[in-house]
Copies of this chain bind each other. A is one copy, B any other.
Amino acid sequence: MGRLGEFELLVLLSILRQRAAPYANRVRDDLEANADRRVTRGALYRTIDRLCEKGLLEWELEPSETPDRGGHPMRRLLVTAEGLEAVERTRDVLQRFMRGLDPVLGPALEEGLDA
């Protein structure tokens, strides 16, 4: 199976964190605020497209509830079962490799972040 790139993983994780409001721009804000990185719209939409093509992500138009501001209906992003699995696999590998490295890396952070 195709691996997840670093950014792809972050995007998927951020979508999962949004729970109630999984929209592209929420993800963007989340990433900019919490991932110490700039995120251009192009980068994000491109990545979303690719994740969709790979079947790891889907979207549906927001049920007209909040056409809020702006013309476009918002897309609600949904991580598929396959996407979830990919995230899990990646996380497990990463954690396996980070395990036992606290002495050399310094301990993991303990702060509580919003969900």
Residues of A within 8 A of B (CB): 3-6, 9-10, 13-14, 16-17, 34-37, 84, 87-101, 104-106, 108-109, 111-113, 115
Contacts and interface: CB of A to CB of B under 8 A. Distances in A.
A103 to B, nearest CB: 10
A109 B99 CA distance: 11
A37 B3 contact: yes
In this complex, the member of A4, A92, A99, A111 whose beta carbon has the largest number of chain B beta carbons within 10 angstroms is: A99
Nearest to A84: B105
B100 A17 contact: yes
B84 A16 contact: no
Given A88-B105, A92-B109, A108-B91, A97 B6 contact: no
Given A3-B6, A3-B37, A115 B100 contact: yes
